[in-house]
Structure 1
Amino acid sequence: MLLKSLRLGSNDLAKSRAFYDATFGALGLAPCATPEQYPIVMWDLGGVKFLLGPARNGEPCTSANGGTIIFEAESEDAVRAWHAAGLTNGGTSEGEPEAKPQARGAFGAYLRDPDGNKLGAYCGLQMG
């Protein structure tokens, strides 16, 4: 089974759009093309759709405890740019850009988006 889309909750779509446009832009992706009046925002991550929107039950969105979404970066400079863009656009640091021992020395960084979702960006991350 292949992943086609990934959806996270957002309590403020304008803040989410600004944060993800900046961080995805640092990784070479186009800005969100979803019209402003839509109840969600969406990006194409090379065949996988990444969506954010309010919780369907009307309750406030919360982040997953232990959940992290990792994005691939082309270089260490792209990881640094991703991290800096996130901090400038309402995110908080969960790990500075550096070689990560837990990832066999791959270069990565971690952020929380404006809604508290934990994200990472890595270059050189190997499976297995």
Structure 2
Amino acid sequence: MFSHVTLGTNDVTKAEPFYDAIMAVLGQPSLMKQGGSLAYGSWTGEKIFIVPPFDGRPASHGNGEHIAFITQDRAIVDAFHAAALANGGSDEGAPGLRPHYHANYYGAYVRDPDGNKLQAVCHRSLKD
């Protein structure tokens, strides 16, 4: 559905260990680390860029927006949350079921060092 997502950062040096850790958990390789920019994913598929804003103004996060990364199992959601917190992120919702979305919706929410809200989610049941 999409080519890429871009998130702004005010400090790529601070963002790098955070994104290295969570992207490793999600199985997304580093594509680029140059010119104050980071990229993860696949050049021929979906990717995420972490960059200082092109207009030179400070990066800021939006209220009500977040990026959700799909995972194949609940253990990856747990590992994503732990890696985020261990690398400068903050908790926005511990791993767990969110049955108000659907019976098997298992997710965790974090904020990156710049305040961007991220989520890992698994839609599979324990039987899948």
Band the TM-score falls in, shorter-chain normalisation: 0.7 to 0.9
Q: Which amino acid aligns with 1:123?
A: C
What residue in structure 1 maps to residue 68 of structure 2?
Answer: 70
Aligned residues: 122
Retained in 1: the 8 A contact 2:68–2:118?
Answer: yes
Could you tell me which runs of 5 or more consecutive residues in structure 2 were left unpaired when the two chains were aligned. Answer: none
Q: Which amino acid aligns with 2:89?
A: G
Q: 1:93 & 1:81 partners in 2: Cα distance?
A: 13
Q: Could you tell me the TM-score, scaled by structure 1's length?
A: 0.87
Residue identity over aligned pairs, in percent, reads: 39
Structure 1 runs of 4+ with >3 Å offset: none
Q: Which amino acid aligns with 2:18?
A: F
Show the 5 A alignment for 1:1-128: 2-30=1-29, 32-35=30-33, 37-44=34-41, 47-105=45-103, 106-124=105-123
Q: Could you tell me the TM-score, scaled by structure 2's length?
A: 0.87
- CA-based RMSD of the aligned residues comes to 1.6
- Aligned with 1:14: secondary structure? helix
Give 1:73 shift. 1.2
Retained in 2: the 8 A contact 1:27–1:74?
Answer: no
